[in-house]
Amino acid sequence: MNAVVSLDRIGRQLPTLDHAHWFLRLPLVAIIMYEGLKKFDDLAGGAEMFGVPILMWTLAALGEILAPAALIVGGFFRNGVGDLITRAAGFGIAFILGGVILIAYWPFWSGYKFHLLMFAGGMYFLARGNNA
């Protein structure tokens, strides 16, 4: 029992980084925003390739730009408004990536691991907000 107490005490004494949430925010933003911007090169072709309506494809592209932008903005405001923006961005990211996983990888479930990790990042910010 003493070893557990000692480890607990050591764990509580380790330094924490108040701004560590940026280590998750920035790569998530960069990857998703890049994918959204890339979609605007050929909206009709991308929609046709995945068999979705062009309106859905365009909304997904806009969401892949706006949700990461909101994740950045929410990170700068460490108050209730910033927390709400961060949670909304997390919802948007999780919603979009959930759709990507279902549309692009269902029913074979092969090659989705990268997207699942980004989905988890969105869920994390939805659940934790600026308390990340």
Over residues 25-66, the pLDDT tens digits come to 999 999 999 999 999 999 999 999 999 999 999 999 999 999
Give the pLDDT score at 94: 97
Task: Take residue 82 and report the two structure tokens written for it.
Answer: 């910033």
Find the mean pLDDT for residues 81-94.
97
Task: Compute the distance between CA of residue 34 and CA of residue 52 in angstroms, rounded to an integer.
Answer: 20
Of the candidates 113, 86, 73, 84, the residue with the CA atom closest to the CA atom of residue 97? 113
106-123: per-residue pLDDT in tens?
877 778 888 999 999 999
Give the pLDDT score at 64: 97
Query: What confidence tier does 1 reach under pLDDT thresholds 50, 70, 90?
Result: low
pTM: 0.85
Phi-psi region of 17 (alpha: psi -120 to 50; beta: other; left: phi over 0): beta
Give the pLDDT score at 6: 77
Query: What confidence tier does 85 reach under pLDDT thresholds 50, 70, 90?
Result: very high
Give the pLDDT score at 83: 95
Find the mean pLDDT for residues 59-84.
96
